[in-house]
Amino acid sequence: MASTFTDLGIELMTTGENAGTWGTKTNANLNLIEQLTGGFATVSIAGGAGTTALDIDDGALTGTAQQRIIEFTGSITGNRIVTIPNDVETFYILKNSTSGAYTVQFKYATGSGSSTTFSATDKGTKIIYATANDGTNPDIVDAMATSSEISLANNNPVKFLDADNSAFVGIDAPATVSASYTLTLPAAVGSSSQALVTTDGSGTLGFTSTSTFGITTGKAIAMAMIFG
């Protein structure tokens, strides 16, 4: 019985086969395992709207889908799709370093399973896992898209970047917090001349008319004239 290969290209040798070549083949497998667990590769997906198919090369290090970290590069002039074979089951760290304001979708080669997409302005990083959970319609899952909680350490801010990523608005905690608390945003948007205030002393926020505080347009103008 001949050797077979896993869905990521590792050779499974049959007992009694490959006499005299086990050392070479085992080393090839170990090199491939190392690449699968920690390898990095750049893949150009330059061009107009279309698809780039990442592949698995059995027993070799040349497959474009046989890396842990993949960086997409190139100038794109249309929405791009990147695919992997339907039987691949692993996780990837994907970096979108393309230029051009178009989307990049990562999905299985065929089927109607879920996928993940970098928006036209998203030149960031995603951690995804390929489930291979269905032979016809397998799913791609974005591990951070629905994270239940994110904690930023060392007083680091959450940064909201502008359209060209050249500047940001950040929100962070004070250097010292006497007691932990959570601010809960309102369920609906406010209206003109309303301010965001705490409503229950427990961190719930709501919109309240500024007139409630005795602030009118006339007073605001007068204060601005006096205090600058």
Share of the chain above pLDDT 90, in %: 71
What mean pLDDT value characterizes the chain? 91
Domain chopping of the chain, boundaries: 4-142, 181-228
Q: Give residue 216's pLDDT.
A: 59
35 vs 211, residue with greater confidence: 35
Q: How far is 96 from 82, CA to CA, in rounded Å?
A: 11
pLDDT grade, residue 133 (50/70/90)? very high
Closest residue by Cα to residue 105 from 54, 163, 57:
54
Question: Would you say the pTM of this structure is higher than 0.85?
Answer: no
Is the pLDDT at 116 greater than 90, yes or no?
yes
- Interval 211-223 mean pLDDT: 64
Give the contacts of 60 (CB within 8 A, at least 6 positions apart): 9, 28, 32
**Contact criterion met (CB below 8 Å) for 104 and 117:** yes
**CA–CA distance, 138 with 215 (Å, rounded to integer):** 58
Highest mean pLDDT pick, 13-27, 62-76, 146-160: 62-76
- pLDDT value of position 44: 98
Q: Is the pLDDT of residue 221 over 70?
A: no
